[in-house]
Amino acid sequence: MKSKFCLIGGLGPESTIDYYKLLIEHYQSLKGEEEYPEILINSLNINKLLGMVAIREFDKLTDCY
């Protein structure tokens, strides 16, 4: 059975890279080998999200993605 991870990024590439590396390290420690999982990254537009929060359009937050 293949594993697939989904990661929501977008706060900046630095944080996304950290999560990406941690997922790979954890996966490899579970598998006991140097294999790489499938990882899907959805990079969100944080400025758009924060703009909606600023004008209290909370219902639209889930509609965009």
Q: Render pLDDT for 4-29 as a digit per residue (tens, 0 to 9).
A: 777 776 677 887 888 889 989 999 99
Res. 65: pLDDT tops 60: no
Q: Which domain holds residue 44?
A: 4-61
* Number of domains within the chain: 1
43: β partners: 9
Closest CA to 7 of 22, 19, 24, 25: 19
- For the chain, state the CA radius of gyration: 15
Q: Would the pTM of this model clear 0.75, i.e. be above it?
A: no
